[in-house]
Structure 1
Amino acid sequence: MNRRDFLKAVGLGAAAMALPGCASAGQATGEAAKRKPNFVFILIDDMGWMDAGCYGSKYYETPNIDKLAKEGILFTDAYAANPLCSPTRASILTGKYPARLKITTPAGHLPKLPAERPLLAKQGPLWQRIITPVSRRYLPLQEYTIAEALKEAGYKTGFIGKWHLGKDSMYWPDNQGFDVNVGGAGNPGPPSYHSPYRLNNLKDGPKGEYITDRLTDEAVKYIESNRKNPFLLFLWHFGVHGPWGHKEEVTKRYANKKDPRGKQNNPIMASMLKSIDESVGRVMDKLDELKLNENTIVIFFSDNGGNTHSRIGPDELAPTNNYPLRGGKATIYEGGTREPLIVRWPGVVKRGSRCSEVVSSVDFYPTILEMSGVKPKPEQKLDGESIVPLLKQSGKLKRKAIFCHFPHNTPATGNIAGTYVRSGDWKLIRFYYKGKGGKHRYELYNLDEDISETNNLAVKYPQKVKQLDELIEGHLKKTGALVPIPNPRYDPNAKPTEKQPRTNRKQRPQRRNTR
């Protein structure tokens, strides 16, 4: 499908595509406040690009998220730095690519690896042709997080919700720059969405209390308590991640609802997103009530693409559908990393704006620094670039490309270890050692003409492949990325043993979620 035609069909085209960068549907009202701005960063888990009304969904009901888009700027080409949660979260907190951090899978709930175990083995079992890296399982304390930067600048800092960046409490938000931590621990998801939650660092509420509501309660309390101070609040919801707890009374409303697009059909996901949307509305109402709305910047984002491979509910339906994007969570096609992004910055961002410039989760750190007037440390290495020029519509970004490095096979989704680069409308994917003769395999797409990634142009445009692959190689070297390597011990006649089972064969879609 042609990208322009699709964006126009879902109502994103007129503004987003009127100019090659950002375009507005209204004018800014007033000057930005002189006091340091507050920040509320709302991160949703596993919410896909098509999972809100303002992005084209005709099934999910998200009036508060849609209202946020009308009051701010909506990005059509925003990307998570990884198709899974922990790496993207780390990129937001540090402004660095997961490849540089060596956090490339969501392993933040597992014990630290022994110090003597390398993240990339030099050799593997005889049957294994390619050796893939393993991921670091925590966010190192040496990293200077955005919370630490703003805390040093006089901000109050609060974290509420899902962390998933270290099993040991020494790596939790309390030790990463946040004054307040409610729920932030190693858990990838709550054992239960209803109290008792059985979660680290979150006390159980009344029996049956819903966790999305509870986290919102905590966020509202935090805003109330810090209304007289500049604050940074991260409200990082567990929803809409597995185990897909939902409010039965809300879910019933969607039992007979049909999607006119014929794509999204899961009442459980609709119910969970409805609760998320109500959370957004409650937070915005509290800011209005306390007259903080004009001096509070709100960022709304998702950590990876919508889950299309799990099966949930009595009808065993996929949680969501990302069409027209290909793939979903745990894949490096567009459905795995293209995300909803809305930024509300009263007095600066023009209401109802749309932007088609390419941005990444590594950009949040330098953006928040510039918004707050805080300078990065001279020795600080940031991979991201401030998107303030896009928000102000005063210029474009300097960089030429963004990257996603995901050197892991994910059997549940059929994903092969790979790296991609997005430069302008072009996207090149390098799949490691999956081509003819054991070489890399390449897929090249023009996303403006083929948003669904159905027409591989790699053979037609070999020079473009070469040019973009050089960018990939430069990125890997610059970040010190760990990449798959051939196994020097490989024997094509060897068979897996019971102690070393083959893990890269395709499997039927799993019912439990890839974390």
Structure 2
Amino acid sequence: MKLFQNLSIVFCLILILSSCSSKKNKAETSKFLDSSYKIDKPNIIFYLADDQDVYDYGCYGNEKVNTSAVDRLAKEGMLFTNAFTAQAICAPSRSQLFTGKYPLKNGCFANHTATKPSIESVTSRMKSLGYEVVLAGKSHVKPASVYQWDREWQPVPKENVPRDYVPLDSIEAYFKTTDKPFCMFITSKYPHGKYFDVENPKAENLKFYQFDQNKKNSESYIKSRAGYYRSIEEDNTQIEAVLKFVDAHLDENTLFIYSADHGVSGKFAVKDIGLKVPFVVRWPKVIKAGATSNQLIHYTDVLPTFMAIAGGKPTEDIDGKSFLPLLKGDDVQVNEYVYGVRTNQNILNSEVFPSRMIRNQGYKYIRNFNSIEVVEQNLTGKPNVDYFIKRGANAFKNEPFEELYDVQNDPFELHNLAKNPELKSIKEELTKGLFIWMESQNDFLNEEKGNMPLITPKGNRGFKLDKDTPRRKIPDSIKNTLNIKDYTIIEHW
């Protein structure tokens, strides 16, 4: 009798466990069918071109340039019309992608400078979420302690082309053999100059816009532009090869993003021609083919989006926000504003002319802090310091203190509305928002007049304003007159 009771109890337990297991399986199945349920971790590939205007793609309206691979991605995925970087220079743009932080906060706000050593980048954040993180191609970020790639392959020399190639063999071999989720940045050196040498180029084979209409008869411009188009075509060949590898060796749960780090026609400045970037995303399991998003997204949003996809949550110190809802088809606002910075004082011309910008869907405000209009208020009374402040203002004497643009109707920012009384409230709102943001970034500039520091890295290494460079000649009377007390030290450079 006791044996029978024990068997009955065991049988009942089996039935209960079986029922629970069945309910669990049904629940898991229903979760997977629910579009809000997180699917298996996808492989993530981010292809980054170098120095290409957002307007120079077939999918963005230029029918005269060969971008068939990117156009294909747009047809199979989602095209973003309002994607931005905060700085139209290589290293600062890339540092935002990799850190989720704007240039002033992450430390890399002048070209060839380093991210702060205390910053956590995509390498550590995605590794902690179970991903292998790979860089294939151009780096242009430092220090190595911040960017600890699981694997890193350098660009590969190739004959009869002006730039090295992305390491296609290594990329394909990796796709064939990898057995865990990965996040790979494929970083091309194209179409960045040096361009191809195109013989007998013709203006009719190029597309001109409002900003370069006056150059239609310039032989040197046409020559350069034709070479640039040819370099874009060469990059298209690389993208086609990568997509072929993806289709052959990876499944549909692969997120592929294409972008270019900034526009070449607006390099170093804060106009949209430099800061607005192409951004196309394909993810067959999630994104509806042929979709378009007009929402404002930013390079700082890329890392938090990747973290959300991987099942993590961005920390509060990250500036960006996840745009994963957009990829899933929810047309929600990600950013009300995006921001931009300009730092001319660096290793090239080294002109003291910093700018900041704020932009929403309709309007854009720019402040040029050392404009010729206000340069007298920026002077210090020290002749050797004031020489460089005046020099910076005169180098950009046609750029006013304030700029305001209706970016919906004036996308190339040709008509400055800063003095339009009807837009006073809009300008005030944007100005207030800009300085709130600058304070949050611990900017060395502020709203007070007369704040125009000469900046230099700790140790004053390599950035001395009073020295000649290949692009800068300093009068003998002013050479070697600055000392360390004349500079504001940027500790992390």
User: Structure 1 length normalisation: TM-score?
Assistant: 0.68
SS at match of 2:189: coil
Matches within 5 A, 1:69-468: 69-107=74-112, 137-166=113-142, 171-172=143-144, 176-183=147-154, 194-195=157-158, 212-226=164-178, 228-244=179-195, 246=196, 251=198, 255=201, 258-259=204-205, 261-262=207-208, 265=222, 266-292=225-251, 294-306=252-264, 308=265, 328-377=266-315, 380-397=316-333, 399-408=335-344, 416-434=353-371, 436-438=373-375, 441-460=401-420, 461-468=423-430
Q: Which amino acid aligns with 2:267?
A: K
Q: Which amino acid aligns with 1:452?
A: F
Superposed displacement of residue 257, structure 1: 7.6
Q: Which amino acid aligns with 2:176?
A: E
1:512 aligns with none
Distance 1:59 1:276 in 2: 15
Residues 1:413 and 1:426: Cα distance change in structure 2 (over 3 Å): farther
Residues 1:256 and 1:222: Cα distance change in structure 2 (over 3 Å): farther
Which runs of no fewer than 5 residues in structure 2 stay unpaired? 1-32, 210-220, 378-399, 455-474, 483-493
Which runs of no fewer than 5 residues in structure 1 stay unpaired? 1-28, 108-136, 184-189, 196-206, 309-327, 489-494, 503-515
Q: Which amino acid aligns with 1:499?
A: K
Question: 1:212–1:276: 8 Å Cα contact kept in structure 2?
Answer: no
Q: Which amino acid aligns with 2:322?
A: S
SS at match of 1:237: strand
Bigger RCO of structures 1 and 2 (CA < 8 A, at least 6 apart): 1
Higher helix fraction (1 or 2): 2
Distance 1:449 1:397 in 2: 21
SS at match of 1:238: strand
After superposition, what is the alpha-carbon deviation per residue over 1:185-229, rounded to whole angstroms, capped at 9, x for unaligned?
xxxxx8xx845xxxxxxxxxxx66875545233322222231x32
Question: 2:57–2:67: 8 Å Cα contact kept in structure 1?
Answer: yes
Distance 1:64 1:486 in 2: 46
Distance 2:161 2:228 in 1: 18
Q: Give % identity.
A: 24
2:441 aligned with 1:479: yes
Distance 2:54 2:480 in 1: 38
Superposed displacement of residue 384, structure 1: 0.6
Residues 1:95 and 1:89: Cα distance change in structure 2 (over 3 Å): same
Residues 1:157 and 1:102: Cα distance change in structure 2 (over 3 Å): closer
Distance 1:487 1:209 in 2: 43
Distance 1:338 1:79 in 2: 4
Distance 2:344 2:162 in 1: 34
Q: Which amino acid aligns with 2:231?
A: M
Superposed displacement of residue 34, structure 1: 3.7
After superposition, what is the alpha-carbon deviation per residue over 1:40-84, rounded to whole angstroms, capped at 9, x for unaligned?
101111011112111111321111110011111111111111111
Question: 1:141–1:176: 8 Å Cα contact kept in structure 2?
Answer: no
Question: 1:102–1:481: 8 Å Cα contact kept in structure 2?
Answer: no
Residues 1:344 and 1:409: Cα distance change in structure 2 (over 3 Å): same
Question: 1:30–1:347: 8 Å Cα contact kept in structure 2?
Answer: no
Distance 1:261 1:501 in 2: 48
Q: Which amino acid aligns with 1:463?
A: S
How many pairs were matched up? Answer: 387
Instruction: Compare CA radii of gyration and give the structure with the larger one.
Output: 2
Please report the RMSD computed on the Cα atoms of aligned residues, expressed in angstroms: 3.2
Question: 2:295–2:334: 8 Å Cα contact kept in structure 1?
Answer: no
